[in-house]
Copies of this chain bind each other. A is one copy, B any other.
Amino acid sequence: MSVIYDRVALIGLGLIASSMYWAMKRDGLAGEVTGYARSEDTRNTAREIGLCDRVCDSIAEAVEGADLVVLCVPVGAMGAVAAEMAPHLKPGATVSDVGSVKVNVIETVGPHLPEGVHFVPAHPLAGTEHSGPRSGFPELFANRWLLIVPVEGSDRDAVDRLRSLWEAMGSNVAEMDAEHHDLVVAVTSHAPHLIAYTMVGVADDLRRVTDSEVIKYSAGGFRDFTRIAASDPTMWRDVFLTNKDATLEILGRFTEELFALQRAIRQGDGEHLHAYFTRTRAIRRGIIEAGQDTDAPDFGRAGGRKK
């Protein structure tokens, strides 16, 4: 493939930025890629493993001359980073981000950007429970969705160019507005994460069942929850604080439904339970057919096979 941006700057060097770097380099999608991270440790690690063509010690240096700047920091840090980099942006540059929340990022980043810079917010629906500069790999975005959330007046050419970069990194791309984005991810990502964190926290805090029992006997279902509950605490704190309304709306619906199922259990209403548990199988089939998960038993962990 050919170069899509001559100069790219990655601000924040965690799982997403490092995966972007390896994906761009694998396919020659960018000329020079600079990187910046606030932590000196992270910058040193990046230099050690060859993450980015040039690791810079300031945001100003990293964004200077960049055609594309991608903010890959926790959502709560985006506004401050935008303010700091704004005076150093090249006219005509595109600024994008990979934040899990869009209304808040648009509100906090947008006002800092100078005229003549194109703002194209985006969000890759991809990740693992690992974090930090060593956690990236170039296949992270393969067949995962990238949501672009154009803002009022987003330049069409700038949007299309960013789209072509993500497609070249393997993503499927869709566009939607910011409010709808925040509700969709509240359902498909934010509420599930909070619920998983909650379940793991409860198990960790029981008097009558020890942590050692919880750990040994986790293969009955619990261990699945611990994976997403091992995700980066700072990132997720910021997600919940900045996508408050949509997350609370979905959690309200969840609690309502959970109470209905608890009542069915208490009253011995087997029909209600059976019908509910049958309905939920269809979504799993849809996800497998859409190529968004594996059909291998137990995510393929068990080494299982079907005869």
B273 touches A218 (CB 8 A): no
Write the nearest CB–CB distance from A51 to chain B, whole angstroms: 8
- Copies of this chain, count: 2
Residues 184-240 (chain A) with a chain B CB within 8 angstroms: 184-185, 187-206, 208-209, 211-231, 233-234, 236-238, 240
Residue of B nearest to A172 (CB): B216
Instruction: Tell which of B136, B198, B277, B287 touches A257, judged by Cβ atoms closer than 8 Å.
Output: B198
Q: Which residues of A contact B (CB under 8 A)?
A: 49, 76, 100, 125-130, 134-137, 139-140, 144-145, 147, 172, 174, 180, 183-185, 187-206, 208-209, 211-231, 233-234, 236-238, 240-241, 244, 247-248, 250-251, 253-255, 257-258, 261-262, 265-266, 268, 270, 273-274, 276-287, 290, 292-294, 297-307
- Looking at the complex, which one of B130, B195, B268, B277 makes contact with A236 (CB distance below 8 Å)? B277
Which listed residue (B219, B220, B255, B277) contacts A197, Cβ 8 A?
B277
| Closest residue of B by beta carbon distance from A132 | B306
Q: A196-B221, A229-B281, A237-B277 are in contact. List 14 more A-B contacts (CB 8 A).
A: A136-B307, A140-B302, A145-B216, A145-B219, A183-B208, A188-B214, A194-B265, A204-B279, A216-B290, A224-B224, A226-B284, A227-B293, A231-B277, A240-B265
Please pick, from B174, B202, B209, B241, the residue contacting A265 in the complex, using a CB distance under 8 A: B241
